[in-house]
Amino acid sequence: SKSSKSPMTSKPLPSHLAFDDDAASREEESSARPQRQQNMIMSNSASIVNEVEERLNNEIEQLKKDIWRVGDPEKPQVAFGELFDDEQTQQHYEGLAATLKAAKKRGIVTYKSPILLKGAHDKVMVNLVDTSPQGESETTTNGVSSKE
C-alpha cells in the first residue's frame, strides 16, 4: 500500500513520502542476506581449516613412520637429504620441508636449521622427539621407564 493518509488530514501522502510495507520487508530480507552469506563463508572456512588440519596431522603421523623407515633403525633420526630423496617420501608429501617445519613447531621433531633446502641442507639431521620405537609405547611409573 504505497499511499497512506496523513495523520493530520485525510489527504493521501504523495507516493514518495508514503510508507511502503513491501519495501520495508525487502530491506529486512536483504539485510539478513549478508549475515547468512557470512555464516556460510565462516562455515566453509571452518570446514577448510579442519580439512587442512586433518591432512597435516596425517602427514605428521606418516613423517614419524618415514623417519624410522628411512633413517637409523636404532634411533629415530634421518638426514634431510636422505628423507627427501626417498621415493615413497617424494610420493606422499606435498611439501616435505613445510611438513617438517610444522612438526618442529609442534615439538614432534628437532633439527638445527631455520629452513631446509634440498642440496644446501642435505646433511641436517632430523630427530624425532619421541624416541620410543614405532609401534611401541613407553609408560613412566615413579620415574622408571618401562616398555609395554
SS3 148: coil
Predicted model pTM: 0.59
Is 79 in contact with 134 (CB distance < 8 Å)?
Answer: no
Question: What does the alpha-carbon distance between residue 127 and residue 111 come to, in Å, rounded to a whole number?
Answer: 6
Q: Which residues of the chain have pLDDT under 50?
A: 1, 6, 135, 137-148
pLDDT, one tens digit per residue, over 29-38 is 666 667 776 6
Radius of gyration of the chain (CA): 31
Burial of 51: CB neighbours in 10 Å, binned 0-12, 13-18, 19+: exposed
Question: What does the alpha-carbon distance between residue 122 and residue 116 come to, in Å, rounded to a whole number?
Answer: 8
How confident is the model at residue 116, as a pLDDT?
A: 86
pLDDT, one tens digit per residue, over 60-84 is 999 999 999 988 878 888 999 999 9
